[in-house]
Structure 1
């Protein structure tokens, strides 16, 4: 590893790649000689920060809808002092708490950022995968600033990956182009390419390539489970953190499955809806026009079970113990659906109609479902049903599955509220843990309900970040002066994050996991999808089968 601090005069003559170099100052810069080529970043408050480093060649032209390819090594110093562009995505149709100012967007977006302690060597590495339903988001959003991790001794990396139709389209012509006969999953392949780049290069920035933790929230956490299931990602990471993952049924490449059309069929239908006769027509479309048109046509981005990148349904891979054998942190938030009400159906007219709908959908499991989600408070029961079926069950299943293959698994429940969120009816809403586990309470968008600037809020943020950093360092989450966090295997233990971390708790929401596991298991056997089709819109429960209650 070679590091050189350069003043303005010492850096004269350094060249760089791309438009990010224009007007950059050389004062307080650091030059790292990496295998990919020399990279110039900035020094700030004892940290070394590198932004917008390309980890794969631009996926443009004929490379649109192709697996990522490695960037040729560069000889002149790459200027990594400004964030790179985000990946193409639709604009915000309406304002929400998640509305944020996006960076410049481009198809040439496969870049990553690094925050590292100055002069680090052999430090643990965290690779952050942003959320956004596989459709939105960027590694440069201020909420994802990695300085708090670097200040605690971690080399923190945030990555971009292709989104929406550009990241996940499957089509028979694309499959025919592939030597493996598959298509789709390009965004996931981008994530794998980023991890390969980290493995090859991160030591030059002070990180340990043998101690890499992948982490993500929402679609980022879904991506974490995809990576755990993909043979192509095996060995590229050593621990995993999945915050509000949703392990829903996934389309198959060339045949209808679980109520969804084949991914290739969906791709053909989209092309027809956009007036494209073939993939060449799709490639000829302007990227912004294509992305916006796909959104209007109702295209839903998803991974694809293709037998190669994703060999099978995620739950089936985990059932067989074929997932990555790594320690995990997994958890979810009490109010996941309060900010995602579009996932809920309209409520029934009254308690009688609610109960009748539950009985139609859950059959002999209806009494159990009604005990968990009673008609006495229809709104709260519907919020909890969708939350548990998507996020709660997924988190506990991940903790159980890793425990069953002998890996340490740490389970959490985020239940923290504060005045600005409570006033909006958003107690512990989806993603509300992010400012705390990043220790970035002051780096929120203008629409995000702001936590109060109090010592208690700061203490919770410090504690959560310390737990996450400790896990990245040695696989065990711990924070000085805070409760011990035992693994899930100890009586289904979990950590409650409320006004403060609260340990010593077991068996979160008793019976919740078993109910939704039974429903998923029966639906899988009957070729019915499992996602947000729960509660009052649940299809009739299939009959019991072997290994399903």
Structure 2
């Protein structure tokens, strides 16, 4: 009788214990159904959990549909398929192809703190990680995103898959015609929103607090976080946001060209034609991998589509109007972002004089400010810096400025850490280099990633960053044991620098934000110019007046 009452209480709490087997195979009774996971150290891990119907056949290029509760016990011991993506043809520090892909990929993974000294049993904060990969590659299950260290700080970590590339972001007139709202595209973003709904409805069964969810991501994952902040459909699904190396660039509108972008439907019609299909039905009949490869061959660069419903405007406009989610934010960028993204760099001018001449032609009255920030005495470093700043530094400061203006706490960081293996490759503080420090996974980076030494100093820096991130997820304030206080941005433009150790500062890169904000505003006002990596010597000629912010 007492045992029956005990099991009933466990079931009510969401944790089902079935004898000794539960020690290795913990079970959770969630509204979605019963899940059986695995024990990993001091955590319970549940992988490959479906959060929506498989987007296959007639569901391809449609919004995700909720998954009915399953019957019986679902094995959550292995990760699901990665979403379909182009096959890797080259190698880089980011090369880490998934073992298997498929369209039935809308799954998520959950790492739950447990054991002595953990507070994961009830109302734990939840960190949702959205992977990067230019919205073309990547997967939620990745050893570098392992949630063990975060769980050790009492945070539940959820990582998600979402549709990618042509399958995830392509708009098309035929798809818009069959949609009740007359829109298409943004399927990967809609997947992310559906995953957030699943977490809202189910995470309490794992001991999580659905009212204390932080969305986070790096690169394209960070762009996704900004889209979620801007989308009315994601309202109320998260309480905080972390944006690591985000880029608030211009994107396509659904039906008309604007800001130098083709209409999203026109891009989709071109892809369909190049794929040899005649209509949406014939595209749905095509092999998913073949479609991904067509997108790669055409250099399709997926972005969120401004459609009036999922995304109501360009990100800069939504944030300027104060319509984004009014949540605390932690955001920043890396000192060497472009060192691993050199394909974004234009050809270097012949010499300093040629560089100064082209900057004067492109920037006009802003050329003096530009050359003070990016002088001609070291063209290599200046070109690396201006591309970094126009994408990542400007975006980061814009985010903390805008959230501060909404009366929300905003925390800004600059990751500029160097270690020998990265230095040897000229990759100090490269794009995404902060991720294994945040997750405490420096031993689990991809094959071509410069390996950080397993030293007390490296472990201390990683531990501090994990502390700061976990603390922010917990209560909106980044605090680390034995480390300096992180000043909010509103306190004289405060920031935290992560070099060898965390060091707070104020007024990072004076003049940088103003230059790139003015350039963006002039391009926006012109209506025919993009704002992205076409900066410096490949910038369009900037209008010399009007469009000031």
Q: Which residue is 1:103 aligned to?
A: 99
CA distance in structure 1 between the aligned counterparts of 2:509 and 2:183, rounded to whole angstroms: 41
Cα distance in 2 between the residues matched to 1:413 and 1:244:
10
Count how many residue pairs are aligned between Structure 1 and Structure 2.
531
Q: Does 1:272 align with 2:273?
A: yes
CA-to-partner distance for each residue in 1:264-317, whole Å, 9 max, x for gaps?
Answer: 000001111111111111111101111111210221111100010000000100
Question: Secondary structure, in 3 states, of the residue corresponding to 1:83?
Answer: coil
Q: How does 1:357-376 map to 2 (within 5 A)?
A: 357-376=358-377
Do the aligned partners of 1:131 and 1:137 also contact (CA within 8 Å) in 2? yes
Gaps of 5+ in 2: 1-12, 115-119
The answer to which of 237-246 and 534-543 deviates more is: 534-543
Q: How does 1:76-87 map to 2 (within 5 A)?
A: 76-87=72-83
- Contact 1:6–1:29, Cα closer than 8 Å, also in 2: no
Whole-Å Cα distance in 2 between the matches of residues 375 and 92 of structure 1? Answer: 37
After the TM superposition, list the runs of 4 or more consecutive aligned residues in structure 1 that deviate by more than 4 angstroms: none
Alignment of 1:116-515 (within 5 A): 116-118=112-114, 120-503=121-504, 505-515=505-515
* Partner SS for 2:192: helix
What CA distance in whole angstroms lies between the structure 1 residues aligned with 2:547 and 2:38? 59
Question: Structure 1 residues 289 and 27, CA, compared in 2 at 3 Å: closer, same or farther?
Answer: farther
SS of equivalent residue, structure 1 residue 126: strand
1:493-548 CA distances to partner (integer Å, 9 max, x unpaired)? 00000011011x11100000000000000000001110011000111111322543
Q: 1:35 aligns with which of 27, 31, 35?
A: 31
User: How many angstroms does 1:7 deviate by?
Assistant: 5.4
Whole-Å Cα distance in 1 between the matches of residues 146 and 177 of structure 2?
A: 41
Paired with 1:172 and 1:281, the residues of 2 have a C-alpha distance of 14
Instruction: Tell me, in whole angstroms, the C-alpha distance in 1 between the residues paired with 2:269 and 2:135.
Output: 20
Give per-residue Cα distances to partners, 1:437-494, cap 9 Å, x unaligned: 0011111112100001100000000000000000000000000100100110000000
* Correspondence for 1:112 among 108, 111, 121: 108
Which TM-score applies when normalising by structure 1? 0.96
Structure 2: how far apart are the matches of 1:545 and 1:193? 41
Separation in structure 2 between the aligned mates of residue 44 and residue 134 of structure 1, nearest angstrom: 30
Aligned counterparts of 1:441 and 1:486: Cα–Cα separation in 2: 27
**Equivalent in the alignment of 1:45:** 41
Tell me, in whole angstroms, the C-alpha distance in 2 between the residues paired with 1:380 and 1:483: 30
1:27 deviation in Å? 6.9
Q: CA RMSD, aligned part only?
A: 1.0
C-alpha distance in 2, partners of 1:363/1:213?
Answer: 42
Matched position secondary structure for 2:491 = coil
Residue in 1 that maps onto 2:522: 522
Counterpart contact for 1:471–1:477, Cα < 8 Å = yes
Quote the offset at 1:321 in angstroms.
0.5
**What secondary structure is seen at the aligned counterpart in 2 of 1:87?**
coil
Q: Deviation digits for residues 68-110 of structure 1, max 9, x if unmatched?
A: 0000111211100001110000111111011114131010000
Partners of 1:7 and 1:29 within 8 A in 2: no
TM-score (norm 2): 0.96
